[in-house]
Homo-oligomer: A and B are copies of this chain.
Amino acid sequence: MTVIRPEATPRPTNDAVSYTLLAEDTATRARLGVLHTPHGDLPTPVFCPVGTQATVKALSPRDLREVGATMILANTYHLYLRPGAERIERLGGLHQFMGWDGPILTDSGGFQVFSLRDLRRVDDDGVTFRSHIDGSEHRFTPEKVAAIQEQLGSDIAMVLDECTVPDDYAYNVEALRRTHLWAARSLEAHRRRDQALFGIVQGGVFADLRAESARTLTALGFPGYAIGGLSVGESKEEMHAMLDVVVPLLPRDRPRYLMGVGSPEDLVEGVARGVDIFDCVLPTRLARNGALLTRDGRLNIRNAVYAEDRQPIEDGCACSTCQTFTRAYLRHLFVAKEMLGLHLGTVHNVHFMLTLMNDIRQAIKEGRYPTFREAFHQRYRVADAKARERNRQAWRRSAG
């Protein structure tokens, strides 16, 4: 059952980015909406492919449009170091630099900097760190990170936050104090009128801290709210519990963004808990590892069983890879370490995620999200714990 209320939240005219709520599922918190940005409107819930270094790995902007991408994410930490935010500004901003005229979301760099465990020092004013590229020393403050993202010119920028290990209460209390301090300073520092700055709810796996964070940030008043520090090692149950605490405390007329999430099953569950925006390197990274997504689960294309398989990756898939190439050819490309395999696999995986989001939106619209969700889980075999752990490890090792 869905309640349609197109008139519920008229588009605010004073914000660069705003949200129109179109429909809400009555059995879950799933909701359908439109996100208005300086580079166009897009339907939500939305999944953003990740273009860490101003390119979604192995895809051109044209490829992105063809697989149905509407908004992409780029990483502030990486672009600040290389080629440099001032350089991108001089070259006309990130959209022009990378040839993508759709909306772009940039993160704050906090996640990357706090992942550099041995290379950073934090204090109340900011965080000092060493570049993973050349070891040079740099400092991020809330003001600096806001200014960098203004130079990049993304549609949605994020406040600097402190990313923690999720299960250390004392550390999370201390980090949250700084995160809230920084959120207020970020809001104060942000100037660009054609860019929205979102706040980030933190608090580890602790319901009281998450609730405090949601209330504090809502009181500050952001045009959108991110939920950070999840999918970083805690269990799926813990992640879901935190969403169930946070989302009801966030304003209904603002978009909600679950950072760095996630797998197909995470998207289905995140939507059920009221999330509007997701981003994750998962589909692109899995593709480069030869793990291709289907409605039944992951398929490892290197497997010898596909050596003479004339089927597409997934029967009925409309992506250009499945329309043109067999599993046998894709397996050959991966075994022979040919770049085209990485490209074709990425096209398929990103198309898979965006088609899933499309189906999710359709199900909400038609008032059948609970049955869609159940049917998805019935069929989709999630990667086993070992595979997920391997992925998490790789995730942590990577700066992206």
Contacts and interface: CB of A to CB of B under 8 A. Distances in A.
Given A90-B308, A99-B329, A339 B336 contact: no
Interface string A302-313: 000001101000
A97 B324 CA distance: 10
A306 B140 CA distance: 28
A34 interface: no
Interface stretch (A22-30, A54-62, A110-118): A54-62
Contacts of A332: 53-54, 82-83, 97
Contact of A91 (B55, B310, B343): B310
A104 interface: no
A57 B310 contact: no
B91 A328 contact: yes
A382 interface: no
Given A91-B328, A329-B99, A335 B57 contact: no
B97 A329 contact: yes
A310 B90 CA distance: 10
B335 A82 contact: yes
A98 B329 contact: yes
A98 B58 CA distance: 19
A60 B340 contact: yes
Interface residues of A, number: 37
A165 interface: no
A59 B340 contact: yes
Interface in A283-336: 307-308, 310, 320, 324-326, 328-329, 332-333, 335-336
Nearest to A97: B329
Contacts of A320: 62
A55 B333 contact: yes
A338 B60 contact: no
A75 to B, nearest CB: 11
A344 B307 contact: no
Interface string A330-365: 001101101110111000000000000000000000
Q: Which of A55, A59, A308 has the most CB of B within 10 A?
A: A55
A130 interface: no
A340 B284 CA distance: 13
Contacts of A58: 339-340, 343
Contacts of A144: none
A185 interface: no
A377 interface: no
A11 interface: no
A324 B82 contact: no
Interface in A86-132: 87, 90-92, 97-99
A310 B60 CA distance: 18
Given A99-B325, A333-B55, A87 B340 contact: no
Interface string A20-61: 000000000000000000000000000000000111011111
Interface of A: 53-55, 57-62, 82-83, 87, 90-92, 97-99, 307-308, 310, 320, 324-326, 328-329, 332-333, 335-336, 338-340, 342-344
Given A55-B338, A60-B340, 17 more contacts: A53-B336, A53-B338, A57-B339, A57-B340, A58-B343, A59-B340, A60-B344, A61-B324, A82-B332, A82-B335, A83-B307, A83-B328, A87-B307, A91-B310, A91-B326, A92-B310, A97-B332
17 contacts: A53-B338, A55-B333, A57-B338, A58-B339, A58-B340, A59-B340, A62-B320, A62-B324, A82-B335, A82-B336, A83-B307, A87-B308, A90-B308, A91-B329, A92-B310, A97-B329, A343-B343
Q: Which 8 residue pairs spanning A and B have beta carbons closest together? A: A55-B340, A83-B332, A53-B336, A99-B324, A58-B339, A55-B338, A91-B328, A97-B329
